[in-house]
Structure 1
Amino acid sequence: MNHILKMRVVMMFVTLYMLTAGNIFAQTVQDSLKQVLKQPGLTPEEQVMTRIRMGRALVDGSRKDAIAATETALAMSRSLKDSKYQALAHSALVSLEYTAEDTTLATHHLDSAFLFAKQSGDPLTLASVWYRKGWLESRIGKPHEAVKSFQESLKLGKGLPGNIYETSVYYNLAAIYSDWKDTDNQYRYALASLVSARLRSDPDDMCNAYQAMATSFEYQFDGDSSKRVFLDSALYYNRKAIATYEANASRISFRSTIALLALNTANLYDQYFPRPYRDSAQRYLDIALRIGKETNQQEVVASCYGMMSSFALNDGNYNRASELLLAGLMALKTYPTPDNRLMAHLMEALSDVAERKGDLPTALQYAREYSRYYAKAFDADRMAIAKRLEAQYQARQREQELVSLQEKAAFNRKLNVVYIGLIVACLVALLYLFRSYHFRLQSTIQQQKLLEKEKQDGELLIRLKEQESIRLQLEKQEAELQVRLQAEEAARLQAEQQLIQTQKEQLQKDLLAGTLQVEQKNELLQSLQEKLQDKSVQPDLAKQITRMIEMHKRMDKTFETTRSEFENIHPEFFRKLQEKANNTLTKLDLKHCSYISIGLSTKEIASHLGVAPKSILMSRYRIKQKLGLGKDEGLDTYLMAWRENNPLGGATAGEVSGAG
């Protein structure tokens, strides 16, 4: 379970939510911005910036509306003299289009943002565009280029008032170095992020900086688990972030960060602390689950339910584990587009729990659902990879076109210089030869890079084929499991049929034996009656009658043997009676119950047992008390109802009474 659903919260995952906020806060921001737009005397510049912020607030509810609001700001910015507003609008559209999975359009907006930022000459605007470039590069798989872009943003914005991107730059750099397992640089940039956040006192930046510090110490602890101080520091900064959120809840824009922090804190308690700390882990899980649902974070919701399910599984409570996994499944299904990979993980976990419970049909059903969702996730990943490769190819095409245009421009400049004079022409020719050699060298290097990229694409295709082979193998295993279940089911049915046949044969034998016993008793009674009517009774008649009565008693002793045979055919009759009576029924009581179950009246039972009917009534009353039956419940109705539901057992009870 833990290897499926327990997730480590890393900084790169948190930064994917830097542009989204919770539904409740987003609604508050929208209302505030709408009030700002209604204010009279608002300058065009203020309107543009307000609409850009409006697009940022709308992204969590509707990306379409967010893009529309930002495009309105872009249209308005075109009428302004300062081109920095167009740069900021294009920069905002970069993140919005990327979250809408249109990387190509996001790249076009980034190029436009650079163009207008350079025209404006504003270093702070250019620094923000360089930050956005690094942000996009880090998400399309270009971390080295992202580091260069972030460093350029820091250089341009250093010491400038109003630089709101400095904390985020350090934060993203720490995330990249964490992916590279460079804990020294990760800690350095996380600390820089915290210092920058404290200067601005922005609660969102403070939460992110605390989270970056916590992740840095957590990675250091992973590298050297003997230094417990690293784990304590990670928990300390996580708690600081959560405390900052609780103290500034109305000012927090990115509540999704707190959900991830709470989940990571719960994971640390579960992974590195003994079981008595389970309550601490559960408390942070509750926080993560609540905020995860409010901010529509499917990964957080699924991970919370998965971790709680692992708690129940470790306790041996399989039913509770299944309930929690099903609750997570229902929570994911409430999203407009549930994550297929998360659904597959939950299905796999449910299959594992069902298999541990011994419920193989249910395990097979969940395994099928896992295969179905895994196939969907696989197709989605393959499509995303194809889009990313296409975007990278287009980027390389633009770079090559730019190089080609630069080469043409340089060549034209050389031709113009040739007309100045022979000497200058010779110098230009030498320069041209040198530069041509340089360009050819660059072209060769570029071709080598392209060949290396094609090789990487080929390796990626091979991995995709391997994943497809794994999926086919899973389907084959599923088919084999189904065949094995069908074979076991056929064997079970055959065994049941053989048992029923054996019981029928035994029942026929018992019925024959009972019939012979009844006939023998009737002959004995008839013989006794004839001897009593004979007036010439011999002196030894009394002894003879006594011996016949003793023989009758010995036949009654066979009741225990008959009862054992009855229990072999249907052991539930006497066992359930004893369970209901707390094992207080005597052998005579059980014999009495067997007579009632076959429908004998009180007089008939008294005749069989050789006692007065009054004694039978008292015995019936005593048995009702032992069975705990109420005044309105009849003993005959109770026993006859059990016999009708178990006809085979009831028939044998009749044979028992007949034998007695």
Structure 2
Amino acid sequence: MCICRISFKIAFFCLLLCGSIGFSTAQDIDVSTQQVLEKVEELQLQNKRKEVIHVLDTAIKSIPRHADLAYLYAYKSSWYSATDSLVLGKRFADQSMEYASLSGNKAAKAAAYRAKAYLNNMLGLTDAVVSDALKGLQFIDGDSQDLTTKYALNYLLYGAYSKWGDSQKMQKYIQAFQRYALEAKNINLQANVQNGLSSMYQARYHKTKDKNLIDSSLLCLNKAFELHWQHPEKVSGNTFVISCINLANYYLEFAAVPEAVRQEKAFQYLRFAEDKLRNGHASAEKWISVFGIKSGFAKREGKLDLAEQYLQQGLSLLMSNEGSHYKVAYAVNKELAAITLQRNEPALAITYQQRAEELLKKSFDEQQLLNAQKLEIQFETEKKDQQLRLLKEREEFRKKQNYLYGGIAVALTFGLVFMFVSYHFRLRYAIERERKMQKQKEDAEQQALLQLKLEQEEQARLKAEQELLEIRQQQLEKEALANNLLIERKNDTLKQIQEKIQHGESAYAQKLIKEEMLMQADFEVIKMQIQELHPEFFKRLAALAKQKLTPLDLRYCTYLSLNMTTKQMAQALHVEPQSVRMFKYRLKQKFGLGKDSDLEDLLTKL
């Protein structure tokens, strides 16, 4: 992946974030809340995002009105969702929706749906984003006050349809939020619109190769740049840096001018971006895009050493800032490995590759935590949906019960009237009453049976939910085990290749690489089989062993339990088949097995 193109990939996310938290002008909000939201916008423009949550928390403690709380919790939810704290984002989105419902305020409900749509966008639930955004727009349709919420909801719809590649819908919603940005007279939102239009034109260009689309993209970027130049205090640093990076990237990839002019123009825009980044007015991950573009120019000139220096400098500036940057750092190290291979420096390339593998593992662990949050949110959502269905079923049952009691009451009333009307029919009325009493008894028994059935179904549902959680936990543990074995094997291979290169045995290193490529397909099958192992496998191994098992012992036991041949194990572990046979003999001793006992049979049964 070319690092210089990261700027376009991060652009939409940053624009969506800028569009999701902004100042609202709904009429039903208290003046003090308006001031809080103005302060939030000011902090966003200055890239002081950490201070936003303190301002919101302080306001929540002092403002009692439900409509105001709905707005404040909506903004708080979006802040946590943007920082990958999805569980907290879900909690505050639910609180926003609760206060909005209590207030009955349409604008507050729209803000709550805006927070919910943004959370679903972070969860990757595009269908839910469209549904929630459209619901939010219904509440403020025709309202000329809350323009920022209208802008954000249309921007979310634009983002959803851009993922689906629906250009007609994209055009519809981008025109809508452009109109609201102009009506709100919000310069920062207008700059975001121009950056969004630029991204749309470039996406169309990559499909059609129509050069006119690149010209349109450049025109939009220049408009965004000019808006900052005319109103520097009203455009956020993040928005301006995105404009500068994308303008620089235009001169790297598309400009039809001499190379020296292209580089001069690109570096001029990058200097503007660097000034903002050094002053802390924009988020740190954009350093990689800045130096990625510089590296791209150096590579095109054949200056691979300079290209490497640029990437190292960008990586250093990125890692010196707070936050998790594993994915971006992984991409940079992969690019550095590719550059050093071009310079015919395989040892250094392996070093960069090893760093990339370590960062990939950290990124994987981080993604696992994020996936756990997504599973928790999904579970809570499904649980609430089931509770709502159960409540609806109970409500239907109560209605039927009321109808039944009403019918019985009417029947008794008519019976009494009939008794007073004619004494001649008293006996007949008594028989009728006895029959109806019997029916009441049967109905009561049926009601008791139905109640018992509902309780049993509730217990079964809770048990099923617990089993589902256990299955999901076991699956995560199996996947972690399989990936750890894969990473350990690859690290062993890289270590051997590095040692052979250091000792000048490059031919043997090539052989190892070929063997590794041949082994990859087999190991993918082994990886799938490892994920089928029972989660108690290693605990049972430890209980059966007469001596303490080492990590290498556990690896041998895993391979043996999968019925791998001696040759396959020797290839996977990079040892001689004779070494595998000797190790199997030592394992039999550790398990206290006799000469005639079969170790593979024991492990397979286990």
TM value normalised by structure 2: 0.65
Q: Alignment partner for residue 364 of structure 1, among 350, 355, 371?
A: 350
1:88-147 per-residue CA deviation (whole Å, 9 max, x = no partner) reads: 222222123324543223223222222222332322222222222212221122211111
Q: Alignment partner for residue 195 of structure 1, among 159, 179, 183?
A: 179
The 1-side partners of 2:380 and 2:183 are apart by 41
Query: Could you tell me whether the CA contact under 8 Å between 2:17 and 2:82 is conserved in 1?
Result: no
What is the CA-CA distance between 1:424 and the residue it aligns to? 9.0
Aligned to 1:268: 250
Query: Could you tell me whether the CA contact under 8 Å between 1:170 and 1:192 is conserved in 2?
Result: yes
Partner-residue secondary structure (3-state), 2:321: coil
**2:114 is aligned with 1:114:** no
Partner-residue secondary structure (3-state), 1:18: helix
Q: Alignment partner for residue 231 of structure 2, among 248, 252, 276?
A: 248
Q: Alignment partner for residue 488 of structure 1, among 504, 516, 519?
A: 504
Partner-residue secondary structure (3-state), 1:162: coil
Amino-acid identity (%) = 19
Q: Which amino acid in 1 is paired with 2:292?
A: G
The 2-side partners of 1:301 and 1:452 are apart by 43
Aligned to 2:338: 352
Q: Which runs of 4+ in 1 moved over 6 A?
A: 59-64, 423-426, 450-467
Greater shift, 176-185 or 65-74, is seen at 65-74
The 1-side partners of 2:113 and 2:382 are apart by 19
Aligned to 2:544: none
Aligned to 2:138: 155
Query: Could you tell me whether the CA contact under 8 Å between 1:17 and 1:257 is conserved in 2?
Result: no
CA 1:338–1:385 in 2, change beyond 3 Å: closer, same or farther?
Answer: closer
What is the CA-CA distance between 1:465 and the residue it aligns to? 7.8
Q: Which amino acid in 1 is paired with 2:329?
A: M
Query: Could you tell me whether the CA contact under 8 Å between 1:52 and 1:92 is conserved in 2?
Result: no
- The CA RMSD over aligned residues, in Å, is 3.9
The 2-side partners of 1:278 and 1:64 are apart by 36
CA 1:398–1:231 in 2, change beyond 3 Å: closer, same or farther?
Answer: same
Query: Could you tell me whether the CA contact under 8 Å between 1:87 and 1:113 is conserved in 2?
Result: yes
Aligned to 2:60: 74
The 2-side partners of 1:394 and 1:107 are apart by 10
CA 1:162–1:459 in 2, change beyond 3 Å: closer, same or farther?
Answer: farther
Aligned to 2:14: 14
The 2-side partners of 1:264 and 1:465 are apart by 42
CA 1:373–1:299 in 2, change beyond 3 Å: closer, same or farther?
Answer: same
The 1-side partners of 2:207 and 2:105 are apart by 43
What is the CA-CA distance between 1:271 and the residue it aligns to? 2.5
The 2-side partners of 1:478 and 1:337 are apart by 29
Structure 2 stretches lacking a partner, 5+ long: 24-28, 412-438, 508-606
Q: Alignment partner for residue 170 of structure 2, among 169, 186, 209?
A: 186
Q: Alignment partner for residue 142 of structure 1, among 125, 135, 141?
A: 125
Partner-residue secondary structure (3-state), 2:165: coil
TM value normalised by structure 1: 0.60
Aligned to 1:280: 265
The 1-side partners of 2:482 and 2:194 are apart by 41
1:323-472 matched pairs, under 5 angstroms:
323-421=309-407, 471-472=487-488
1:77-96 matched pairs, under 5 angstroms:
77-78=63-64, 82-96=65-79
Q: Which amino acid in 2 is paired with 1:290?
A: D
Query: Could you tell me whether the CA contact under 8 Å between 1:5 and 1:303 is conserved in 2?
Result: yes
What is the CA-CA distance between 1:64 and the residue it aligns to? 6.2
CA 1:313–1:186 in 2, change beyond 3 Å: closer, same or farther?
Answer: same
What is the CA-CA distance between 1:201 and the residue it aligns to? 2.1
CA 1:303–1:459 in 2, change beyond 3 Å: closer, same or farther?
Answer: farther
Q: Which amino acid in 2 is paired with 1:286?
A: R
The 1-side partners of 2:4 and 2:11 are apart by 20
**2:298 is aligned with 1:312:** yes
The 2-side partners of 1:369 and 1:219 are apart by 33
* Larger of the two Rg values belongs to structure: 1
Number of aligned residue pairs: give it.
450
1:322-341 per-residue CA deviation (whole Å, 9 max, x = no partner) reads: 22122112201220235122
Aligned to 2:495: 479
Q: Which amino acid in 1 is paired with 2:108?
A: T
Q: Which amino acid in 2 is paired with 1:181?
A: G
Q: Which amino acid in 2 is paired with 1:160?
A: D
What is the CA-CA distance between 1:305 and the residue it aligns to? 1.0
1:376-400 per-residue CA deviation (whole Å, 9 max, x = no partner) reads: 1121112111111111111111121
1:482-524 per-residue CA deviation (whole Å, 9 max, x = no partner) reads: 1321331899xxxxxxxxxxxxxxxxxxxxxxxxxxxxxxxxx
Q: Alignment partner for residue 221 of structure 1, among 197, 205, 228?
A: 205
CA 1:323–1:201 in 2, change beyond 3 Å: closer, same or farther?
Answer: same
What is the CA-CA distance between 1:149 and the residue it aligns to? 1.5
CA 1:107–1:3 in 2, change beyond 3 Å: closer, same or farther?
Answer: closer
Structure 1 stretches lacking a partner, 5+ long: 30-43, 492-660
